[in-house]
Amino acid sequence: MTGGDDQERLRELIERVTDALGLAAARVEVTEDDEALTGVVHADDLGLFIGRHGQTIDAVQHLAQRILAAGEPGRRVVVDAEGYRARRAAALTGQADDAAAEALRNGRPVALDAMVASERKVVHEHLRERGDVETWSEGDEPDRHLVIAPAKGF
């Protein structure tokens, strides 16, 4: 299937969801590059599309990933809403920095709240380069959470 076909399929999927949620004024922009096929929803109030703790937008992204990347390991599909993903990543890295500082200050591990795998990955990657802390995930979905601890020797 060509990229244009996949772009149109992603646009149609997102538009069906926004219509079902009563977001008729929403506009969907789809782009593709070497890293991902990305659909971004633009509208005034996207709280319903994003959902509590991003559950709805994550579910739409999961469906899109399953539909559009089937049989293509490594292909990434992203669904965003007016920069929600970037704002969420910034909030997560801020929490991670605060937890890392607390872990170093107190000399013991700090557990963050449960989060989905993609959010845990943001935190793991953000803290990996520091060298003064280590991270790992514990628990089972949907309560899987990330732990930040002083690295050995700190």
Judged against a pLDDT cut of 70, whether residue 2 lies above it is answered with no
Model pLDDT, residue 1: 40
User: What does CATH list as the number for 87-150?
Assistant: 3.30.1370.50
pLDDT tens digit string along 33-90? 988 999 999 999 999 999 988 999 999 999 999 999 887 878 899 999 999 999 999 9
Fold of 3-82: GMP Synthetase; Chain A, domain 3 (3.30.300)
Q: Exposure of 148 by Cβ count < 10 A (0-12 exposed, 13-18 middle, 19+ buried)? A: buried
β-bridge pairing 37-42 and 77-81: parallel
Q: How far apart are CA 95 and CA 75, in angstroms?
A: 29
Spans of all domains in the chain: 3-82, 87-150
pLDDT in tens, 111-154: 999 998 889 999 999 999 888 999 999 999 889 999 999 998 76
Span 75-93, pLDDT tens digits: 899 999 999 999 999 999 9
Bridge partner residues of 111 (DSSP) = 147
Residue of 118, 116, 28, 38 whose CA lies nearest to 77: 38
The reported pLDDT for the residue numbered 75 is 84
pLDDT at 3: 59
Single pTM value for the model = 0.83
